[in-house]
Each structure stands twice: as C-alpha cells, then as structure tokens.
Amino acid sequence: RVLASRGLGIVDDPLAGATLETGRDAQVLVVEDRPETAARMQAALAVDHAVCVVETPAEALARVAEEDFDVFIVSLGLAGADGLRLCSNLRAMERSRNAVVLMVADESQRPAILRGLDIGVHDYLLRPVEHSELVARVRTQVRRKRYADSLRASVQASLALAVLDPLTGLYNRRYLDGKLRTTFTQARESGDSLSLLLLDIDRFKLINDGFGHDVGDEVLREFARRVQTHTRGIDTVCRFGGEEIVVIVPGTPLEAAEAVAERVRMRVEGEPFVVQRGRVALDVTVSIGVASLLPGDGSIQALFKRADMALYRAKAAGRNRVVA
Ligand code: GH3
Ligand code: MG
Ligand code: MG
Ligand code: MG
C-alpha cells in the first residue's frame, strides 16, 4: 500500500500492518524481586511473549547490554534499589530508548508513579497486579511500539532517499547544495582548509552512442563506486550531473587534494570497466579539476568556479588528467 510518493521516495503505509498487529511475540523483561509477583506476571505474559525475570536494576542493565527487549516491567518497590531510576536509564539509553517501559507500584506510591510518567514511562499497573489487565496493557503498548517503529523506519527511509541519487547511490545535488554551504561556513569559522574536486568522464557520449544507454548507466555506477572507494569517509561524494561527480574534501589543502584526485584518476584509468555481465570491457578515463578555499572567497561559488575552470583546462589539455 502506498501512502505517499514524494520525489524519489515511495513510502509504505505503516498503518496497513498496525490493524493486524496482535501485540504478541514481544521480548519482555520483568524487574521484580518479590518471587510470588514475579512468578504470576511471568505466567500471565508467557502465553503471548518471551519473558525473562531479574531481581535488580544492575541485572536488568546487564541483560540490556546483551539483548534487545521490547518491553520492560519495572517494580517501584524493589528492596534497596531505585526502580524509578532504572526506568529513567532505560528511557535514556540508546539500546532501550524505543522500548516500552511499564511500572508496577502500590497505591501509596502515587508520587513516584507521576514522576515516572513525567520522565516518559508509558503506563503503570497497581498491586495486586491483575492478570488480564497486565496482559491487555502489555499488548496495547506492544502494538503502539510496533506502529511507532514502522513509522520511524519509513520516515528514515524516505529521508535517505530524498538525498540520494537512485542510479549511483551517491548523494544527489540537493544534498550537495546544503552540504557545501555548511562546509564553507565551518571552514571559515575554524580556519581549516577545504578543497573541491570536480570530476567528468572523458568522451562519455561515445560510450552511450557506441554501446547504448544501459552500458552508460553501468559505467556510471562503477565510476561512482571507484570514486567512493578511493576517497575518505569524511569526504562527501555527490553526483552533480550526468557523468559528473563533485567531492567535498574538508581539512585538506590544495596539494593533498590534488594527490587524492590523482589517485582517483589512476583508479579509473588503471582497470577496464567490465559491464554487461562481463561481456564488455571499456577503457574509461576521467578529467578532474581541483580547487581550494582562498581567504578572499566570499562564498562557495568562488571555489566552485575555480574547480570548474580547472576541469575545463584539463579537458582542453587533452583529458585524463588532474588540473589544480
Ligand atoms: P567530455 O570529455 O568533453 O566530457 O565529453 P563527453 O562526451 O563526456 O561530453 P559531455 O560531458 O557533454 O557528455 C555527457 C553525456 O552524458 C551526455 C549525456 O547524454 C550523458 N548522460 C547524462 N546523464 C546520463 C545518465 O544518467 N546515463 C547515461 N547513460 N548517460 C547520461
Ligand atoms: Mg559532463
Ligand atoms: Mg563535458
Ligand atoms: Mg564528460
């Protein structure tokens, strides 16, 4: 089911599964040191879920470090231990922040219950814990959690798609524009160097004309892969246009950026591009313009323009070369 189709991203309707969601088959950790209560809760919940029981917050945290739980049921009346603090830790920790947290408390612990709800505990149960109420509340929370999880996953997926080029998987031009602005500002504020590579495949039209657009696409994917592989993790590689790639190289002065460009150029030239499941091997070369930020540059445009002019000179001088 398609909820919305925005730009490149098609978002599956996360509600579609939610109505069928039974709220069963969750991983539940009960933190309770009264053996009788713990045994009753475990028996009630084991019909629907996989249930573990521990007696102290320390044991609970040790378990969290080892496995992922969907639901925590924490007693606020632990002898010599602070159940509320454990709830707070569970809500804060990366590993458990999206899990459900339920409190079990006495009527006399109203103030603690209120504080728990205030720090993001989802629900509570009063002692004596009633079997069917426990089962129902856990199911409801598991359903809510699964809905929230699927929503989060589809939002993340569409955010990622919005900044990626579908052919190569590189960042797209929209992402590049924003990234250039923030990188420029950072370099200005820190005084760090900043370089830019502008890459353009040589005579790419001949590949399209001679072997077809599909072969051209495959060459672009392999080109993107080689550029990505031979730059660093902090460098930003973007598909700028048809067969043009921009690499933002932060913290790197001109000479070092030139060396990066030369390495990439050699990796493109060095081995033929094998496409069409091994049936076609093509010699591909790339021209690269390199420029670095200068004190007088008022905007990223000035830098971009120098890289573009350097690329033009690389083409004019015979292609398959780096010009800075
Ligand atoms: P030069 O050495 O001067 O760069 O020569 P060139 O042939 O590479 O010239 P130019 O940069 O002008 O040509 C780019 C070609 O890239 C033109 C266009 O048809 C092709 N192109 C653009 N986007 C795509 C794409 O997504 N897939 C394929 N297969 N070709 C594309
Ligand atoms: Mg071009
Ligand atoms: Mg061109
Ligand atoms: Mg070209």
- Give the three-class secondary structure for 69: coil
Residue of 243, 262, 269, 271 marked catalytic: 243
Q: What tokens were used for 22?
A: 């039974």
pLDDT value, residue 3: 42
Q: Is 202 in the pocket of ligand 1 (CB under 6 A)?
A: yes
pLDDT value, residue 8: 42
**pTM, entire model:** 0.69
Active site residue 66: no
Interatomic CA distance for residues 72 and 103, integer angstroms: 8
> How far does residue 61's CA lie from ligand 4's centre (Å)?
57
pLDDT value, residue 43: 96
pLDDT value, residue 6: 41
> How far does residue 323's CA lie from ligand 3's centre (Å)?
15
pLDDT value, residue 16: 58
pLDDT value, residue 18: 54
Among 65, 63, 33, 35, smallest CA distance to 50 is for: 63
Q: Is 204 in the pocket of ligand 1 (CB under 6 A)?
A: yes
pLDDT value, residue 160: 85
Interatomic CA distance for residues 104 and 127, integer angstroms: 7
Q: Is 244 in the pocket of ligand 1 (CB under 6 A)?
A: no
Q: Encode 146-162: b = buried (16+ Cβ within 10 Å), e = exposed.
A: bbeebeeebeeebeebe
> How far does residue 201's CA lie from ligand 2's centre (Å)?
7
Q: Is 24 in the pocket of ligand 1 (CB under 6 A)?
A: no
Mean pLDDT in order along the chain per 10 residues (324 residues): 41 56 93 96 96 97 96 94 96 95 96 96 96 96 94 90 94 94 93 96 97 97 97 95 96 97 98 95 98 92 96 98 98
